[in-house]
Amino acid sequence: MTTVTKNKVTDLFLENAPSFGSFPSLREESKQIVNGKGLPAAKDEEYKFTSVSKKLEQVITDFSPAKPIAVSKDTIKDHLWAGFEGSYLVFNNGIFSEELSAFENSGFEVQMLSESNAIALGSIAKAEKDPFIALNTIYFEDGIQISIPRGKKVDSPILFLFFNQANEGQIISPRILIEVAENAEATFLEHSISLDEAVYFSNSVTEIKVGQNSHVHYSRLQNDGSKAIVVSNFETDIHRDATFTSTVVSLSGDLVRNNLSLRLQDSGCVGNMYGLYLLNGKTHVDNHTNVDHTKPHAESNELYKGILTDQSRGVFNGKIFVRQDAQKTNAFQQNNNILLSEDAIVNTKPQLEIWADDVKCSHGCTTGQLDEEALFYLQARGIDKMQAKGLLLYAFAGEVLEHINDESFRNYIDRLVQERLGSNF
């Protein structure tokens, strides 16, 4: 369906591609894909408003994979928010650092991908699906596999901390494989931090298998530096009676592209996707989500909200597929945007593709300003206009934030959002 023309950036990546000993066939296959398809150009429907290739061509000067930087344990402590209790796994320029991490006796297993026999690697996030997945598969040095055993309820959250800095190469490629066995429960948090304001390209792949009757929450905070280019590929397979909830909060970056894909493999699955993007400056955030209903009696909910100001741009594309077998599907999708400035742009495309007749599917999207009447109501009650605005915007954003199940993370993000919206009074 997609036609891509090879571009200069593709060649630069292939020329600078590292050669790692692990996973030879996967990497070779990925090289073929990148070489054959090329990285998506602006003509590509999937990357219509977000030309990552063009951006990379303009700003990236060093296409070599990034090496770890000096990060001290104190730096990590500084970036853990108040009230955080749980294990954390640190990625230093995309490479897992065991010594900086803390995850003892937490009830789950962590292995380096190269040391485990990660058979599932590349089977959930298939390289042929998106050239950026293939690119990550070529560029990641090593990643980790997390396994939650059957019936295990991991009480405290598992936090991924990404520390990124560009002075040791600019291509950062984190790779994570999570396998949650049957009847298990876990909460994952993710926080990406830029240690300087330099240009880097982070291209991550996270593959998750949610086993039968398991419940997984995954909340992400994207707070990269204003020059960072971020592509995240998030692929999940959700099995019978399992639930998976993803929440993404994007606050900064130069260009951020989130690909999120949920495959509801069996009956009784629930997939939830929530997103909030508060954009200013020239930040460009693109959320592409994809839910695939393959079997009957599954449900998906989606709510993405955006507040845009300055010259920022928000792109949303939500796809819902309901296959022929997936009768009795419930799928809901909503995208709301508020534009606060003359130069902000929103491109949204809520897409439904339905092949089954006994389904309830709906999608909606709105773009507009704050409700004048609500503003007036608050002003009439003695709240000044700025405060009233902040209050209304905070309430608008709150609908997404409430889905973050870890309280300390939610409070932390909540504060950042309040600061940004000027509603921290």
Partner 1 sequence: MSKDNQILEELTSKEYEHGWSVNLETDEAPVGLNEDIIRWISAKKEEPEWLLEWRLKAFRTWLTMTEPEWANVHYPKVDFQALKYYSAPKQTKKPKSLDEVDPELLQIYERLGINLNEQKRLQGIAVDAVLDSVSVGTTFKETLSKLGIIFCSFSEAVHEHPDLIKKYLGSVVPMTDNYYAALNSAVFSDGSFCYIPKGVRCPMELSTYFRINAANTGQFERTLIIADESSYVSYLEGCTAPQRDENQLHAAVVEIYAASHAEVKYSTVQNWYPGDKEGKGGIYNFVTKRGICAGDHSKISWTQVETGSAVTWKYPSCILKGDYSVGEFYSVAVTNNYQQADTGTKMIHIGKNTRSRIVSKGISAGKSQNSYRGQVQVMKRAANARNFSQCDSLLMGDRCGAHTFPYIDIQNPTAKVEHEATTSKIGEDQIFYCNQRGISTEDAVALIVNGYAKEVLNQLPMEFAVEAQKLLALTLEGSVG
* Residues forming the site for partner 1 (CB under 8 A): 45, 324, 327, 337, 339-342, 344-369
Cα–Cα dist 318/305, whole Å:
12
Smallest gap from Cβ 50 to partner 1, in A, equals: 13
Smallest gap from Cβ 17 to partner 1, in A, equals: 32
What separation in angstroms does the CA of 175 have from each of 146, 204, 206, 304?
Answer: 11, 6, 6, 25
Q: Which is nearer to partner 1, 63 or 277 (CB)?
A: 277
Residue type for position 134: A
Cβ-Cβ contacts under 8 Å for 204 (sequence gap 6 or more): 94, 136, 162, 172, 173, 174, 175, 176, 230, 231, 232, 233
Cα–Cα dist 239/213, whole Å:
7
- Which of 122, 129, 64 is closest to 94 using CA atoms? 64
What separation in angstroms does the CA of 335 have from each of 23, 287, 301, 363?
Answer: 39, 11, 11, 8
User: Per DSSP, which regions of 183-312 are E strands?
Assistant: 185-194, 201-210, 215-223, 229-238, 243-252, 255-264, 270-279, 284-293, 299-308
Dihedral sign, Cα of residue 58, residue 277, residue 208, residue 294: negative
User: How many residues appear in the chain?
Assistant: 425
Q: Which is nearer to partner 1, 265 or 336 (CB)?
A: 336
Cα–Cα dist 329/293, whole Å:
7
Smallest gap from Cβ 309 to partner 1, in A, equals: 9
Smallest gap from Cβ 419 to partner 1, in A, equals: 22
Smallest gap from Cβ 362 to partner 1, in A, equals: 4
Q: Which is nearer to partner 1, 59 or 361 (CB)?
A: 361
Smallest gap from Cβ 345 to partner 1, in A, equals: 5
The answer to whether the CB of 284 falls within 8 A of the CB of 255 is yes
Q: Which is nearer to partner 1, 153 or 360 (CB)?
A: 360
Smallest gap from Cβ 375 to partner 1, in A, equals: 14
Q: Which is nearer to partner 1, 212 or 337 (CB)?
A: 337
Q: Which is nearer to partner 1, 1 or 119 (CB)?
A: 1
Q: Which is nearer to partner 1, 341 or 424 (CB)?
A: 341
Q: Which is nearer to partner 1, 209 or 389 (CB)?
A: 389
Q: Which is nearer to partner 1, 51 or 136 (CB)?
A: 51
Q: Which is nearer to partner 1, 144 or 326 (CB)?
A: 326
Burial of 71 (0-12, 13-18, 19+ CB in 10 A): buried
Task: Please report how the helices 385-401 and 407-421 are oriented relative to each other, as an axis angle in degrees rounded to 10.
Answer: 150
Smallest gap from Cβ 273 to partner 1, in A, equals: 18
Burial of 418 (0-12, 13-18, 19+ CB in 10 A): middle
Smallest gap from Cβ 350 to partner 1, in A, equals: 6
Burial of 197 (0-12, 13-18, 19+ CB in 10 A): exposed
Cα–Cα dist 300/320, whole Å:
9
Smallest gap from Cβ 39 to partner 1, in A, equals: 20
